[in-house]
Each structure stands twice: as C-alpha cells, then as structure tokens.
Amino acid sequence: MDYEFCSCGAILPFPTSAPSVLVCVVCHAKHTIKAAKNKLIYRTEKVYNDTIHNDLEEQSKAEDPVVEKICDKCGHDKMSYTCRQTRSVDEGQTVYYTCLKCKYSIVENA
C-alpha cells in the first residue's frame, strides 16, 4: 500500500496528530500509520518575489499605447494609457494615463 493513497484510489488525509490509523474518507478503509513511518514527506512552494511582479507590471505599462499628453507632475509630453469600463454601460469609460518618465498616473472619466 502506498501511504498517500487508499486502495480505492482516494488520497488519504494527512494526519495532524499521531493517530495509529488513517481512515479513507471515500470508502472508510482503515490503514495503519506504520505504512507511513520513515517516509519522507515534503512539499513544494512557489514563491513569487514582489520585484518580479513589479517588473511584469512595468513591462505591461510599456506595452500600453502611447499618446502625446503632458504630465502634470514632470511636464513630459508622452503618456501610456489603458481604458476600463468602471461604471455602468451607458456611461463613458475610465482612461488611466501613466507618464513614461516619472510614472505619475492620471485618471479621466470619459
């Protein structure tokens, strides 16, 4: 018997304490914990660094369309933009502008 699976194919519950028997939640078969003794148990975690997230965000900003619009903060004449429908359908869309130089954001309700 594989200590992770019941003979019916269901995954056996991982014991949170030290029971002497594992009970399958599907077929209610009982398996002794001795089968799992001295088995290596491990898990894999995916860790996402905030820097990677920020880099992807910056990359997506660079892929947005660019328009000639003057930044209120630094005076740069080019901004990228993206549009979202944040209000009801009968109203205009919301346009988010981001300065390519200083990353300052402007929101316009069209």
Q: Does the annotation list 99 as a binding residue?
A: yes
CB 41 within 8 Å of CB 53: no
Q: Does the annotation list 102 as a binding residue?
A: yes
Exposure string (b/e) for 27-36, b if CB count within 10 Å is 16 or more?
A: eeeebeeeeb
Q: Give the Cα separation of 10 and 38 in Å (integer).
A: 22
Q: Does the annotation list 27 as a binding residue?
A: yes
Q: Does the annotation list 8 as a binding residue?
A: yes
Q: Give the Cα separation of 15 and 54 in Å (integer).
A: 39
Q: Does the annotation list 83 as a binding residue?
A: no
Q: Give the Cα separation of 103 and 74 in Å (integer).
A: 10
3-state secondary structure of 60: helix
Q: Does the annotation list 71 as a binding residue?
A: yes
Q: Which residues are annotated as a binding site for Zn(2+)?
A: 6, 8, 24, 27, 71, 74, 99, 102
Extract the annotated binding site: 6, 8, 24, 27, 71, 74, 99, 102
